[in-house]
Amino acid sequence: MINTPPIHLALGTDENYVDFALITLTSIAAFHSEAPIHLHLMHENLSEQTIARFGKLGNTCGFQVFPLKMPREMFQAFPSLPDGRISPLVYRLALPVLLPDVEKIVYSDSDIIFLDDIAKLASIDLHGHALGAAPDRAGQRVPRGPEHDLPEEAVYFNDGLMVLDLNVMRKANAFARCQQLAKKHGKIGMIDQTLLNMLFWNNYERLPQRWNLINSIYRNLPLPGTYTIEETREAIQNPGAVHFTGHHKPWLFWKTTHHPYADRFWHFALEAPISTWTKIKIWLKAHSPHSRLKPPKKDVPWGSTDLKCQWPEEHEIKC
Ligand SMILES: [Mn+2]
């Protein structure tokens, strides 16, 4: 164990998203047992008390927490939140600069639940590319063309779960170029994701769909040029990480359920070290009529029998 190199993992949060980050980490701990995890906790102004909550979870689950405070001056080029804070969405862009000694790192959003060992994701060969990521339907809404710095043929990826090669990103001067592009494009939508696509649309390794099962996957056919029907079905049958993209978050009471694995979120939320009040709210959602999986609008070649209904034995929280 001592000689095993650590898995580097980066998560970014403000006080509003702390519970969700803790839920994501609880799911990671449940499926991971080998190499130690170094968690780089990106934040701007988390209290010491809050950071201690991550430390406590790390102590019981065997990962080390390294708080990583975002220097405000680095983020001047990006639109800030209405109250003046840095948007936590853009923290990830600075990783190549913030962690000069780290080579490979997994970045995860906090609306993600892992259902397999993160070590399998971290060890995926990127074949010299800057990053590994999975394509996303959200790219359909992004304007293309030379003036938008994104060609028509780009297969737009989701940046919520990525394996990054920080050396390759540093060589490409990724963060400085993100700053320049942000100034040029002002308030573009999905800014972090669109900037990374502008830089790396032709320099990313396509991850198997099972490593980022986005919200729309169950109710839609895969976009042409992304995954085949067979690959999509396999991913639905054997997910590695599920991602509650878009507005239908499984913790929002009035939102209907579009993600086939929303129940896994409810499970880990009830296991995670979060407040009882939050757990009650999530339990109510899990037991409300809105928890029923909304069927696809169109004909899709999979159904509820393709969902992984059996929990693997190792889902038990080990810590
Ligand atoms: Mn996300």
Contact 260, 293 (CB under 8 A): yes
> What's the maximum distance between 2 C-alpha atoms anywhere in the chain?
52
Provide the residue range defining the domain that includes 277. Answer: 215-315
Check residue 2 and give its pLDDT.
56
User: Residues within 5 Å of ion ligand 1 by Cβ?
Assistant: 109, 111, 160
Q: Is residue 228 domain-shared with residue 243, that is, in the same domain?
A: yes
**Tell me: the pLDDT tens digits for 166-193?**
999 999 999 999 999 999 998 888 999 9
**Tell me: the pLDDT tens digits for 51-105?**
999 999 999 888 999 999 999 999 999 999 999 999 999 999 999 999 999 999 9
Domain boundary among 183, 211, 239: 211
Q: Is residue 266 domain-shared with residue 118, that is, in the same domain?
A: no
Contacts of 125 (CB under 8 A, 6+ apart): 205
Residue 288 DSSP class: S
Tell me the average pLDDT across 204-222.
96
Helix (H) or strand (E) holding 242: strand 241-243
**Tell me: the pLDDT tens digits for 2-45?**
578 999 999 999 999 999 999 999 999 999 988 899 999 999 99
Domain total in the chain: 2
Measured in Å, residue 312 CA sits from the centre of ligand 1 at 25
Measured in Å, residue 3 CA sits from the centre of ligand 1 at 33
Cα(290)–Cα(292) distance, integer angstroms: 5
CA-wise closest residue to 139 among 147, 150, 126, 131:
150
Measured in Å, residue 70 CA sits from the centre of ligand 1 at 20
Tell me the average pLDDT across 141-166.
95
Q: Residue 28 domain-assigned?
A: yes
Cα(216)–Cα(219) distance, integer angstroms: 6
Measured in Å, residue 111 CA sits from the centre of ligand 1 at 5
